[in-house]
Amino acid sequence: MGKLNVKKLAVITGFLVLGLAGCAVNPVTGQSEIALVSDREAIAIGQQQYVPSQQMQGGQLLIAPELSAYVEEVGQRLARASGVNLPYEFVVLNNGTPNAWALPGGKIAINRGLLVALEHESELAAVLAHEIAHAAARHGAKRLERDMLTQGVLAVASIGTEGSALGQEVIGYASRGAQLLGLKYSRDAEREADFYGMQFMTDAGYSPQGAVTLQEKFVAMKGGAAAASQDWLASHPTSIERVENNRGRARELMARKPTATHFGTAEYRTALTRVTEAAPAYEAYEEASALLEVGSHDAAISSINQALSLVSDEAQFHGLRGAIRMAQKRYGDAVTNFDRAISFDPAYFAYYLHRGAAKSKQGKRSEAKQDLERSMQLLPTAQAQELLQEISAVPR
State the Cα angle at 353 between 7 and 338, rounded to 5°: 160
Nearer to Zn ion, 8 or 236 (CB): 236
Nearer to Zn ion, 236 or 249 (CB): 236
Nearer to Zn ion, 242 or 325 (CB): 242
Supply the DSSP symbol for 394.
S
Length of the chain: 396
**Which residues pair with residue 33 across a beta bridge?**
24
Class of residue 187 by CB neighbours under 10 A (exposed 0-12, middle 13-18, buried 19+) = exposed
Count interface residues toward Zn ion (CB under 5 A): 3
Nearer to Zn ion, 214 or 300 (CB): 214
Nearer to Zn ion, 89 or 190 (CB): 190
Shortest separation between residue 12's beta carbon and Zn ion, angstroms: 25
Reference 263, options 192, 221, 195, 212; nearest CA is: 212
- Tell me, residue by residue from 213 to 252, as one string, x for binding to Zn ion by CB under 5 A and - for no binding: -----------------------x----------------
Helices (H) and strands (E) in the chain, counts: 20, 5
**Chain residues 173-192 in contact with Zn ion, contact rule CB under 5 A:** 190
Nearer to Zn ion, 130 or 354 (CB): 130
Shortest separation between residue 146's beta carbon and Zn ion, angstroms: 16
Residue nearest Zn ion by beta-carbon distance: 236
Q: What span, in angstroms and rounded, lies between the C-alpha atoms of 237 and 216? A: 13
Supply the DSSP symbol for 36.
S
Shortest separation between residue 126's beta carbon and Zn ion, angstroms: 11
Q: Which amino acid is at 24?
A: A
Shortest separation between residue 131's beta carbon and Zn ion, angstroms: 7
Q: What span, in angstroms and rounded, lies between the C-alpha atoms of 58 and 177? A: 14
Under a CB-based contact definition with an 8 Å cutoff, are residues 92 and 29 in contact? no
Shortest separation between residue 237's beta carbon and Zn ion, angstroms: 9
Shortest separation between residue 217's beta carbon and Zn ion, angstroms: 15
Site residues (CB under 5 A) for Zn ion? 190, 193, 236
